[in-house]
A and B are shown apart, each in its own frame.
Chain A
Amino acid sequence: MCQVDEEYNGQLEHRVTPRVSKKCVKCKENTAVLIIRAGDAFCRGCFKEYFIHKFRAMLGKNRVIFPGEKVLLAVSGGPASSSMLSQVQEGLSRDAPKKLRFHPGIIYIDEGGASGQSMEERERAVAQLESVFRDTNYHYHIVHLEQVLSLPSSVLEAGSSATEKPQTGSSYKAAVDQFIQTKKNQHPDLSVENTQSHLSSLSMQEVQNGVTSPITPEHTQALQRLFASVRTLTAKEDLLHTLRQHLILHTARTQGYTKVMMGDSCSRLAIKLLSNISLGRGASLATDTGFSDPRYGDVVIVRPMRDYSSKEIAYYNRMFDIPSVFIPGLDTKAQDKASIQHLTESFVTKLQTDFPSTVSTIYRTSEKLHTACPPQNTNTQPSAKCLLCLCALDTKLEEFSAYQATLISEQLSQRRGPGTAAAPGLPPASSAGQGQCYSSGGGQRQGCITGEGGCCSSAKTAPVHRGIDSTRRRKRSTGMLAHVDSNASHSCLDVLWVVD
């Protein structure tokens, strides 16, 4: 083995490394210009085809978009949503073989008030985006985050879906027919509206919210006070996400859109999945990261970009000049450990370099999770929903669970009341100071946590701002709010959003 003129040529295996000078693996004719995943080298034309095909296949496989429907595209200006916008344009253009058939609108939410940008920066970003939107010739809405302070409480309720949920086994065609039927009954002159909406850009600006309710500095200050009252960055990002969802939902409902498309890419969804697990939102993982999100009932959120890694999107945007605008957010230039979401992002990105299949494995895991949503208006008892995110509540106190263990720890670490330690999880309701009170209404036992002092039935404003972590409070007050009847929910909401 160690001799001088030993020949090794025949025995050693050659490790095959993918190189860009190879041929494209698809058409095998042109030279490859980029490498996706582990070793797939594509030429320019084949890559474009592959990219476009994935989008159409994603929409075609999960058939939730009906032809003629109004679909709202949520564009944040970032690469993924700009790419989604260009894919929709591509799909709706006349020369595509099987045209997509729906009516798109665009929404952009200006979050500069929350992330502390000045008015000039915000206007500049909005102007850049408006020029992009105008090129598409679609209806667009620019909504400022300050508008969330004047939303009606109907955003907290799930509407009933416009079409009946089709039975399993009935075909897509039947569902489409049903949809067209309902549409005709509701809006007999919809076709007229549609042709008008595709006219020149002047008519589009009439529904721009900036004109109907201008943003005053007081609004911005109120919004900033709201965000300043939340102490951790994790909770701020969570709050921003919830407010954004509510604004999109409200716009969709008032402008008559039945579907919303979000531009979450595969990498972004993997990060979201992990950070939701870390935040304790395991029960709603499937709705938060699945393809379709039916929790609002009448408006369904779909995520057609969920199969694209951020690398593919970046390559496509660069090669085919897709315009995108960078807008700094809450966690731009923040440290790694500033918030849970930011920490998860850096963790997944670092792990991906060592183990290239990390993101796709997490994506596959999310696909296997439960996606069924309980039907809205059947005769079975609907499960209680969280007031803020409209997902099923997971605060039911079972015999033993992590939730109950946390409550017991809280209890044991604080001032022991008169008498011996109580039975697990059921202290007498009359004990002063902290205690849990069980609602007896509705036949469903849900625990409600009060924080230090004050029971929810007296609707004091104090509990919300004292004590431990703000989102822990919010998560618990979620349980608290959800079992209060609808008359009181509005005041509880005010409690949550007290600004002073």
Chain B
Amino acid sequence: MPVLCSSCAEKRAVLKRPKTAHSLCKECFFWAFEEEVHQTIVSAQLFKHGETVGIGASGGKDSTVLAHVMKVLNERYNYGLKLLLLSVDEGITGYRDDSLETVKRNQQQYELPLKIVSYEELYGWTMDAIVKQVGLKNNCTFCGVFRRQALDRGAMMLKVDKICTGHNADDVAETVLMNVLRGDIARLRRCTAISTASEGEGVVPRCKPLKYAYEKEIVLYAYFKKLDYFSTECIYSPNAYRGHARTFLKDLEAVRPSAIMDVIHSGENLSVREGVKMPVQGTCGRCGYISSQALCKSCVLLEGLNRGLPRLGIGKHHRLHEKILSQQPLTQVEERKLKAVNF
């Protein structure tokens, strides 16, 4: 006896929705998925009419689906937004160069303008060169910090008002779990926000329209709509700490599918005691970017790479920031500590 779609009850169901375990036919699933993103955008008031929005596109499933859905909703509900694609080239051979080809194809398919910024031109270092110096364990820190700044710089070059990224519910839940495991109370408070604060120059506010969409549903959507995306993971990711949080979250989802939304719900309702020390937002002494220390993280990391001291940005070295700012040479003990690399 064929199972009917639980929404329209006319067509046969072709998939079971991971989020709510309802059986839906293709059209109803598309409609439900797009409607949910629409409700998220409308109720969180993410965009204003007439804004220019840059979509962070990596060629992977999240950003492809995001670009597609944004285009569809922009036309269907008349957001009046000007959309364009923004991509970052980290210089990882075998991964990023392939995914950039996908982004270029997306540009033609969705007819959106595209801008690519690369680490090489912004910082003078590619990720492969960084990994050769830093090793396999802490390289994700470098990539993430550099990418954030790269996106902002690219956005400023294109003069966009907002950036939107394809972070999905699984990403946000993993971040909550990871911040609890690492004891990062400051980030724990901020990580469930759907859009970042928008004060300060050189900072473009960014938002996550797919925040409540499960990763599995995004894959299903991309598969059934036959969207073109690149599906290999980064070659350096197996050693990342986030992998532990991800495995745990996947197991949780297997036990109880609503666990992902429950984790996000818990993260949104956390309240921090008064009197806990929180970082204060200021500006970097060297490049003027926003920072909570004297030097922003990417300046510190870059300084470490350029001087051949790869561990300069890893761990706490606040006292050395003034020294670096004033170009003083570091003592021998400090140098030795910062050079040590564990593979």
Which A residues contact B (CB, under 8 angstroms)? 232, 234, 273-274, 276-283, 285-286, 336-340, 343-344, 347, 351, 358, 361-362, 364-365, 368-372, 394, 399-406, 408-410, 412-416, 421, 424-425, 468-469, 472
Q: Is B182 an interface residue (CB 8 A)?
A: yes
Residue of A nearest to B24 (CB): A413
**B17 contact set on A, CB distance < 8 A:** 413
Q: Is B141 an interface residue (CB 8 A)?
A: no
Other-chain contact of B7, A338, A399, A415 (Cβ < 8 Å): A415
Q: Is B78 an interface residue (CB 8 A)?
A: no
**A365 contact set on B, CB distance < 8 A:** 180, 183, 185, 188
* Of listed A279, A369, A402, A472, residue having the most chain B CB within 10 A: A402
A415 touching B32 by the CB < 8 A rule?
Answer: no
Residue of A nearest to B212 (CB): A405
Q: How far is the CA of A404 from the CA of B265 in the complex (A)?
A: 10
Other-chain contact of A370, B36, B259, B273 (Cβ < 8 Å): B273
Other-chain contact of B262, A232, A280, A336, A408 (Cβ < 8 Å): A280
Q: How far is the CA of A135 from the CA of B55 in the complex (A)?
A: 70
**B176 contact set on A, CB distance < 8 A:** 277
Q: 1/0 per position for B24-35, CB-CB distance to A under 8 A?
A: 100010011001
**B264 contact set on A, CB distance < 8 A:** 402
**B19 contact set on A, CB distance < 8 A:** 409, 413
Count of A-B residue pairs with CB < 8 Å: 154
Q: Is B327 an interface residue (CB 8 A)?
A: no
Q: List 19 A-B contacts (CB under 8 A).
A: A274-B177, A277-B267, A280-B263, A282-B270, A336-B251, A347-B251, A351-B181, A399-B44, A402-B268, A405-B40, A406-B212, A406-B261, A409-B212, A413-B20, A413-B24, A413-B28, A414-B7, A424-B39, A468-B21
B269 touching A337 by the CB < 8 A rule?
Answer: no
Q: Is B43 an interface residue (CB 8 A)?
A: yes
**B35 contact set on A, CB distance < 8 A:** 408, 412, 421
Q: How many residues of B contact A (CB 8 A)?
A: 53
**Given A340-B259, A424-B43, A351-B244 contact (CB < 8 Å):** yes
Besides the known contacts A368-B185, A425-B43, 19 further A-B residue pairs in the complex with CB atoms under 8 A apart = A234-B255, A274-B177, A276-B266, A277-B180, A277-B267, A283-B266, A286-B271, A340-B252, A340-B255, A343-B255, A362-B180, A368-B276, A401-B268, A402-B261, A412-B35, A413-B6, A413-B19, A424-B42, A469-B258
- Within residues 206 to 264 of chain B, which ones have a CB less than 8 A from any CB in chain A? 212, 244, 248, 251-252, 254-256, 258-259, 261-264
**A406 contact set on B, CB distance < 8 A:** 212, 258, 261
A282 touching B177 by the CB < 8 A rule?
Answer: no
A343 touching B251 by the CB < 8 A rule?
Answer: yes
Residue of A nearest to B43 (CB): A400
Q: How far is the CA of A338 from the CA of B255 in the complex (A)?
A: 7
Residue of A nearest to B17 (CB): A413
**A276 contact set on B, CB distance < 8 A:** 266
Other-chain contact of A358, B181, B256, B270 (Cβ < 8 Å): B181
**B254 contact set on A, CB distance < 8 A:** 337
